[in-house]
Amino acid sequence: ASIEKAGYPHFMLKEIFEQPKAIQDCLRGRLDSTTHQITLSGLEKVKDKLLAAHRIIIVACGTSWHAALLAEYWIEELCRVPVEVEYASEFRYRNPIVGPDDLIIAISQSGETADTLVALENAKQHGATIFGVVNVVGSSIARLSDSGIYTHAGPEIGVASTKAFTTQLAALLLFAIKLAQYKQKIDTATSDTLINELQAVPDKVQEILNSQLEKIKSIAHKYVDAKDFLYLGRGYNFPIALEGALKLKEISYIHAEGYPAAEMKHGPIALVDENLPVLFIATKDKIQEKIISNMQEIKARSGQLIALVSTDDTFVSSMADDSIEIPEAHEIIAPILSTIPLQLLAYYIGIARGCDVDKPRNLAKSVTVE
């Protein structure tokens, strides 16, 4: 087993460290940074359906649902098409309005999640077109899909999803940029920037793994006895806050909630005292000022502030008790990078608490029963 883990103590850590390569594998042959071209043969196949669709519905469960939520933000911003994000288990049981004009994106690492599969079968019976974003080649969801993109993350053994998630994001962003180009909703300068920055993601992920590891370990030790954790983000970072909180719950059994930062004053802020660690994703973007004022609200109530900040953003890092640096990136790209430290934080807290991080209690890698 230690050979399979390639010298890492756990599959989860191995898979976290595999992300530069996994993302590179996902982009390979699809993104040409010299010509600034994206090639997605799967998208070509459903191009007419896609261009005719008045909306896109994304169906998924768990971590894949978080990828769906970020994809909604990306696709709506870049392509100006309405997107709906659905939990497969809810979608399948509520007589959903779906028909031949709908394009459904199905996101699944395993391609075997029962709720997702049945939701798609129902939608297909109603005439919808299914576009799969799947990791496991030849899986049930891949076979059911009319077309799609394989994420090429390689086998993921750790029950808590890591590289499968970041490769889903890479695939979905390729999809969003390409669709925006087809719909002529994006100018060349913006798409060139996004393509260049997406190409740079593997190196930036590596940079985080190299430069922030010790810092993250020490933060993990500091907060190892926390009873609850709050993860807050706005905009593109909100789905990442949800995913960060889910990772911590799964791996360390610490109760954690992800929330849109501004919504905290409608409830979660009542939980804040000197014992509550609150993690903010506060990298530079158009709404950073807003997140800074949310941070001040927590500080005023003596919460422990942990912040993900853009490298050298001393203003925000000086506000926080602890900070982790994220290489500068376009605001559409940055959430992919911010995912990495949250995986590591969950991992090191889980280890410090003696948890079985590769096989957390009560969880299954693939939920093939409902």
**Least CB distance to ligand G6P at residue 316 (A):** 30
Based on the shown chain and the rule CB under 6 A, indicate whether residue 109 belongs to the binding site for ligand G6P: yes
Q: Shortest distance, CB of residue 189 to ligand G6P, whole angstroms?
A: 35
Query: Do 65 and 162 form a contact (C-beta atoms < 8 A)?
Result: no
Phi, psi of 34 (to 5 degrees): -75, -50
Q: Is 183 a catalytic residue?
A: no
Q: How far is the CB of 11 from ligand G6P (least distance, A)?
A: 13
Helix (H, G, I), strand (E, B) or coil at 107: strand
Answer whether 64's CB lies under 8 Å from 98's CB.
no
Closest approach of ligand G6P to the CB of residue 254, in Å: 17
59 makes contact with ligand G6P (CB under 6 A):
no
Q: Is 242 within 8 Å of 267 (Cβ atoms)?
A: no
Return the residue of 24, 89, 113, 252 that touches ligand G6P, per CB under 6 A: 113
- In eight-state DSSP terms, residue 92 is T
In this complex, which beta carbon is closest to ligand G6P, that of residue 129 or of residue 140? 140
Please tell me whether residue 61 binds ligand G6P under the rule CB under 6 A: yes
The single residue of 5, 185, 299, 365 carrying the catalytic annotation is 365
In whole angstroms, give the CA distance from residue 370 to residue 368: 7
Rounded distance between C-alpha atoms, residue 273 and residue 233, angstroms: 19
Contact call for residue 363 and ligand G6P (CB under 6 A) = yes
The nearer residue to ligand G6P, 151 or 310, going by C-beta atoms, is 151
**Integer angstrom CA distances of residue 106 from 87, 118, 169:** 11, 11, 13
Nearer to ligand G6P, 73 or 165 (CB): 165
Q: Produce one character per residue of 305-316: b if its CB has 16 or more CB atoms within 10 Å, e if not.
A: bbbbbbbebeeb
| Joined tokens for residue 27 | 């982009």
Shortest separation between residue 304's beta carbon and ligand G6P, angstroms: 28
The two structure tokens encoding residue 105: 């994106």
Please identify, using beta-carbon distances, which residue of 64 and 310 lies nearer to ligand G6P: 64
Q: What is the DSSP letter of 18?
A: T
Binder to ligand G6P among 78, 104, 159, 340 (CB under 6 A)?
Answer: 159
Binding mask 115-144 for ligand G6P (x = CB under 6 A): -x----------------------------
Choice between 63 and 129, CB closer to ligand G6P: 63
Least separation, in Å, of the C-beta of 199 and ligand G6P? 25
Among 62, 239, 303, 341, contact with ligand G6P (rule: CB under 6 A): 62
Q: Is 151 in the site for ligand G6P (CB under 6 A)?
A: no
- DSSP 8-state assignment for residue 150: E
- Are 320 and 309 in contact by the 8 Å Cβ rule? The answer is yes
Residues in CB range of 205: below 8 A, 6 or more apart: 19, 20, 23, 166, 336, 337, 340
Active site residues: 365
Residues forming the site for ligand G6P (CB under 6 A): 61-64, 108-110, 113, 116, 159-161, 363, 365-367
